[in-house]
Amino acid sequence: MSSGNTSQPKPTIVLVHGAWADGSSWNGVVSRLQHDGFTVDVPPNPLRSLAGDAAYLRAFLATITGPIVLVGHSYGGAVVTNAATGNPNVEALVYVDAYVPDENQTLLEMTAAKPGSVFAVADPSTVFNFVPYPGGPPGDVDLYVKPGLFARAITGNLPARDAALLAATQRPLTFSALGERSGVPAWKTIPSWAVIGTEDQAIPRAEQLALAENAHAHIVEVRAPHLSLVTDPEVVTKVILEAASMVPVHA
């Protein structure tokens, strides 16, 4: 069932995937939003650097006419936080199991701020496979979550077959991106919502809550792992629809 007045123009919903995933992680949410009559875009997140990924998304957003609800999952939350700053068309931000950085925060700092993340380790080689890539900063590598850890960290209660498929198709994030400092956050001027998976082993619930509260986000909790957009797409969609319903209609 569609939300809002169908005679009014709907905002475009832009969904940004996180690290160790791709745009297909949004499939369950996309189908529901399209059923409700929304235009949905799922641009690829390059996963090369926070500044570069935000610049890529910023350029993509500039091609969209009219209001935008911008949604980020996991690392995608850091990307949307930077990309939306200064864009007057972005009317709402939605964070899904996501980093919601303040200015100068890094992914490494946020991951380790509260206990509970499987990635908060002294030796990252125990949780990631390192793969060199050409053209990057000296010594930088692509990080792949070790297949044996993927289910615990990312997919939680998904069937083992699905977890193995997602582990095999994961897209890597660069090691250098983990230490980049975030810029001026868009949530300082744009209303935000946050979906928090209480069973998340990548970004612990306590840290997600602290970040979302710092951004004054409307918070919804769901008993879900790091991929609540896959395990509970109806909950995630409902929050996006709530954010979309608050977007003012411009003449």
Cβ-proximal residues to 70 (8 Å cutoff; 6+ apart), any chain: 14, 16, 61, 80, 83, 84, 90, 92, 93, 94
Query: What are the C-alpha distances in Å from 29 to residues 123, 156, 177?
Result: 35, 19, 27
User: Looking at residue 9, what is its pLDDT?
Assistant: 80
Over residues 154-163, the pLDDT tens digits come to: 999 899 999 9
pLDDT-derived band at 249, boundaries 50, 70, 90: low
Mean pLDDT of the chain, nearest integer: 95
- Domains of the chain plus CATH, in order, are 12-121+182-245 (3.40.50.1820)
Over residues 72-96, the pLDDT tens digits come to: 999 999 999 999 999 999 999 999 9
Tokens of 168: 């095999």
| 123 pLDDT above the threshold of 90 | yes
Q: What percent of the chain has pLDDT over 70?
A: 96
Query: What are the C-alpha distances in Å from 103 to residues 16, 57, 95, 251?
Result: 20, 18, 17, 34
pLDDT-derived band at 8, boundaries 50, 70, 90: low
Tokens of 63: 């091609």
Over residues 10-64, the pLDDT tens digits come to: 999 999 999 999 999 999 999 999 999 999 999 999 999 999 999 999 999 999 9
